[in-house]
Amino acid sequence: MSWSFSNDKPIFQQLEERIVLEIISGRYEPGSKLEPVRELAMTAGVNPNTMQRALADIENTGIIYTKRGDGRYITENTEIINEIRNRYVLKKTEDFIASVKALGLDEDGIVKAVREALEQGG
Amino acid sequence: MSWSFSNDKPIFQQLEERIVLEIISGRYEPGSKLEPVRELAMTAGVNPNTMQRALADIENTGIIYTKRGDGRYITENTEIINEIRNRYVLKKTEDFIASVKALGLDEDGIVKAVREALEQGG
Amino acid sequence: MSWSFSNDKPIFQQLEERIVLEIISGRYEPGSKLEPVRELAMTAGVNPNTMQRALADIENTGIIYTKRGDGRYITENTEIINEIRNRYVLKKTEDFIASVKALGLDEDGIVKAVREALEQGG
Amino acid sequence: MSWSFSNDKPIFQQLEERIVLEIISGRYEPGSKLEPVRELAMTAGVNPNTMQRALADIENTGIIYTKRGDGRYITENTEIINEIRNRYVLKKTEDFIASVKALGLDEDGIVKAVREALEQGG
DNA sequence: GTGGTCTAGACCACC
DNA sequence: GTGGTCTAGACCACT
């Protein structure tokens, strides 16, 4: 079962987002080893070169690093993971706020909507 | 300038969502007239029948109604508009909560993230 | 404003049914005078010959009669009117019973349905 | 042998009424499979799209549902079927009552007419 | 094979 | 002119 991709963005970017999301969601422990590129590529149903590019990009953020001849590992530096997670949360939050502000909610209304949804869901 | 559509959902559903969103965002005043089907279809770059189907579906929600031989109008009943807007806000809020909960935020953390984003944005 | 006719029966029959219905509904007093054929024809939007034929047929039932040189009158004989009304009621009732029996209602169910509808409507 | 349609209502509505009527009359068992759209369309003598629209509308009532790539099925939920049947019976009953009330029958007269017709018919 | 969608184009009723 | 319906035919996704 391959992953699904939209056509409005390059596949390697979608790979990056998905993999980073899995890391910051806790799917991998800090310091643990990633699957080999070829395996990840097969799982995702993409060309290994595409997966390679995505992982190289992710590596630039410091959230993963490579041991030559061994494989890729998640950083043990939880600071980095937390920072990226915070950035992601901030983006999600800003997007959410923008979308409901467009519907006329003011700031109090937004906080209230979140509180109510939490009470109902919890 | 045609609208853009993703291929994971039928076009007529995407038309419905977009038009309803425009209505509840206040792009049309309650009681005001919609553009003719054929014009909307041309603007969106779809077949008039597809737009017709989308509008007929929307009409079932009560947010618009038809005057035969005249045109389609936004309901003057602001209750209906508000209810649909509230449903939409609720859905957006729940989606947001689910996505950040998946990253490990607890309820207090979510409210805090929203508060901070509001302060920063305001 | 002409009357409306369906295509599955001759117009003169539909005229007969409608006019007899108006008589037995009490739209005309027993002994009262009908409008002239030409006027009735114009009202119904049909050819006077067609209306003439309808009225001649109705006359055979005895519910109306002609005074030569004067016009057509509703019979003063309320027996005849009552009998035709009873026939009409019986037909309506049988049709009703047949249609709901086809849905699986038994005789008690039918009487019950009528009772409930009367209570709700009254 | 095509079905017959009147021209005072859209064909797709007449299709809906007829098919729903067949379902609530017990022509199809709960959970049984409907004929394919194309076959139903041919039987009725209409375009497959017209039949498709009728069935999609019916599906909104919950009395049938679709298995993609397989076919359409009657709901196993006899509650829904019963509710729709009851609505239909109520409508028929009210129409009947209205038509004979217009002829001057009072409520006792209506019940009496139904009783007599049942005795005669049974 | 099934249902679902979309386009194209025609015709109708209403105003 | 407006919306509403219907047909014809193509293509897709699912099984």
A42-96 pLDDT, tens digit per residue, is: 888 889 999 999 999 999 999 999 999 899 999 999 999 999 999 999 999 999 9
> Does the structure show a pLDDT above 70 at C4?
yes
B11 touches strand E (CB under 7 A): yes
Domains held by chain A: number:
2
Q: Which of D76, D93, D109 is the last residue of a domain?
A: D76
A15: domain CATH number is: 1.10.10.10
pTM: 0.79
pLDDT band at D7 (very low <50, low <70, confident <90, very high): confident
- Dist CA A95 CA A112 (whole Å): 17
- Examine the domain organization and report whether A67 and A98 are in the same domain: no
> Within a 10 A sphere around the Cβ of C2, how many other Cβ atoms?
9
Nearest chain C CA: its distance from D29 CA (Å): 14
- Examine the domain organization and report whether A84 and A39 are in the same domain: no
> Does the structure show a pLDDT above 90 at C98?
yes
Contact C104 D85 (CB under 8 A): yes
- Examine the domain organization and report whether D24 and D62 are in the same domain: yes
Over residues D17-28, the mean pLDDT reads 95
* C-alpha triplet C46, C49, C51: angle, nearest 5°: 55
- Examine the domain organization and report whether C53 and C98 are in the same domain: no
pLDDT band at D1 (very low <50, low <70, confident <90, very high): low
- Which residue is closest, via its CA, to the C1' of F6? D50
Contact B103 A4 (CB under 8 A): no
- Examine the domain organization and report whether B20 and B61 are in the same domain: yes
The partner residue sitting opposite A122, judged by closest CB among B92, B96, B107, is: B107
DSSP C13-55: HHHHHHHHHHHHTTSS-TTPBPPPHHHHHHHHTS-HHHHHHHH
- Dist CA C108 CA D74 (whole Å): 28
First to last CA, chain B: 34
- Examine the domain organization and report whether B115 and B102 are in the same domain: yes
> Does the structure show a pLDDT above 80 at A6?
no
- Examine the domain organization and report whether D103 and D64 are in the same domain: no
- Dist CA A57 CA A66 (whole Å): 12
Chains A vs D: touching, with 3+ CB pairs under 8 Å? no
- Dist CA A84 CA A11 (whole Å): 21
> Does the structure show a pLDDT above 90 at D64?
yes
Q: Which amino acid is at D90?
A: L
- Examine the domain organization and report whether D18 and D62 are in the same domain: yes
* C-alpha triplet C4, C6, C9: angle, nearest 5°: 130
pLDDT on residue C87: 93
pLDDT on residue D15: 95
- SS3 label, residue A10: coil
- Dist CA D11 CA C15 (whole Å): 26
> Does the structure show a pLDDT above 70 at C122?
no
- Examine the domain organization and report whether B70 and B18 are in the same domain: yes
- Mean model confidence pLDDT for chain D: 93
Q: Which nucleotides of E are covered by protein (CB under 7 A)?
A: 1-9, 13-15
Q: Which domain holds residue B108?
A: 79-119
Low-confidence ranges of chain B (pLDDT < 50): none
**Residue B2 included in any domain:** no
How far lies B2's CA from each of B23, B43, B55, D102, in Å? 19, 6, 18, 57
Query: Could you tell me which residues are beta bridge partners of residue A33?
Result: A73
> Within a 10 A sphere around the Cβ of B57, how many other Cβ atoms?
16
> Does the structure show a pLDDT above 90 at C59?
yes
- Examine the domain organization and report whether D41 and D71 are in the same domain: yes
- Examine the domain organization and report whether C71 and C91 are in the same domain: no
